[in-house]
Amino acid sequence: MAITLLLDLDDTLLNTNLRAFMPAYFQALADHVCGHVSSDKFLRALIGGVNQMNENEDPRLTLREVFDSYFYPALGLPKHELQDVLDDFYDHVFPQLAIHTSRAPHAVEFIDWVSASGFQIAIATDPLFPIKATHHRLRWAGLEPERFQLVSAFEDFHFTKSHPAYYAEVLGRMGWQDGPALMVGNDPTRDILSAQRLGLKTFFIEGEATSSPGVETGRGQLSDARAWLESVGQSALEPSFKSRDAVLGILESTPAVLNHFLGLLNEDDSKREQSRGDWAMNEIACHLRDTEREVHALQLNLMLEKIDAFIPRPETSVWASERDYLLEDARAAGVEFADARVELLARIKSLPEEVWSRPARHAIFGPTNFCEVLGFMADHDRLHLQQAWSALQTLLGERV
């Protein structure tokens, strides 16, 4: 079974002197827009926008939307007045910042090996940069972006690495593949602890000034990662998505992933069933929406009203035909699902810790508790995103 590998970029695959790089980056950007806005005002708006992205927990908003909604009002400028200037910066000025980086020894060799070994590989860099900037940084590392199944960036991601939902979004965008998965990175908090909160195994890239992140699966330099991977059994890399943080991360990320998938398809493609018995994408979106509204909301109410509540599991597989899902609009259903999920998340995030261990009885699984029932909801999400990803690959493959 293929290993899903998530790789940080800066100071993992690319040596980046962040103390020199970030001030140089901010200053170069401020200088480039100085004809439109003062440097001080620009930098305040930029830092404020980054802070807003780090705090976002709304799966309906991309990080770019979060950033723009703060950044341009703070500048007092319309987006269209600055967009061409910023595009020019990332095309022609940002590449000059390569002088503050250097290729990490063994990075290209390591990528060659994991690629040849059949790993599914994502560049799990904090999506605070535009995709153009991240592609530049990959090339500085000696790597072409096309080599990777996914590269995260702020245009189409919804969470930063400060949230376990970021890692759930990466895995969801890769189709929630079953089997072993590993996050490799150098930041003790955002790369290691945050990934572990989702339930991932990790490999910590040790640096001279980095503190220990605590418990991790493996540690060393990138040059040690291959030998370590060859020495551990795949079972040691199996993730566990049973904790409260993991469940919340998956539930939070699912609307973001689903609506990204739906955005890649036109209305006709969304209504196409791949083969007899398979669901079309709009049937998946409608099923998730109605299950959220009618099943998950009911189950949550029952568990909050009574200790040891009986949790029914209605038969929902017949809804697709009974409710004529093929006649519905997939994107509208995705938006409605996201709204319903945000409402559910608002309720459960505010609950005291002791509620998460409250006992219940499930119609299918028997004796259980609050956290496990929400885990069943997360498993349901993962199952249908796997289904959606498989349909998406077929539909996009037909266009090539």
Model confidence pLDDT, tens digit, residues 183-206 = 999 999 999 999 999 999 999 998
Output the pLDDT for position 398.
62
pLDDT score for 10 = 95
Helix or strand holding residue 108 (H, E): helix 107-116
pLDDT at 400: 37
Contact in structure between 7 and 115 (CB atoms under 8 Å) = no
**Do 1-240 and 244-399 show the same overall fold?**
no
- Please give the pLDDT value at position 35: 87
Second-level CATH architecture of 1-240: 3-Layer(aba) Sandwich (3.40)
How confident is the prediction for the chain on average, in pLDDT? 93
What is the distance between the alpha carbons of residues 376 and 291, in angstroms, rounded to a whole number?
12
Structural domain 244-399, CATH architecture:
Up-down Bundle (1.20)
Domain boundaries, the chain: 1-240, 244-399
Report the 10 Å Cβ neighbour count for 86. Answer: 15
Label residue 214 by pLDDT band (50, 70, 90). low
pLDDT in tens, 146-174: 999 999 999 999 999 999 999 999 999 99
Name, in order, each residue with C-beta under 8 angstroms of 131's C-beta and a sequence gap of 6 or more.
151, 153, 154, 155
Nearest to 165 by CA among 259, 247, 65, 240: 247
For residue 382, give the nearest of 207, 214, 282, 239 by alpha carbon. 239
The whole-number pLDDT of residue 367 equals 97
Q: 80-122 pLDDT, tens per residue?
A: 999 999 999 999 999 999 999 999 999 999 999 999 999 999 9
Predicted pLDDT at 20: 86
pTM of the model: 0.96
Locate the DSSP E strands across 259-352.
309-311
Query: Contact at 8 Å (CB) between 5 and 121?
Result: yes
H/E stretch holding 123 reads strand 120-123
pLDDT value for 208 = 58
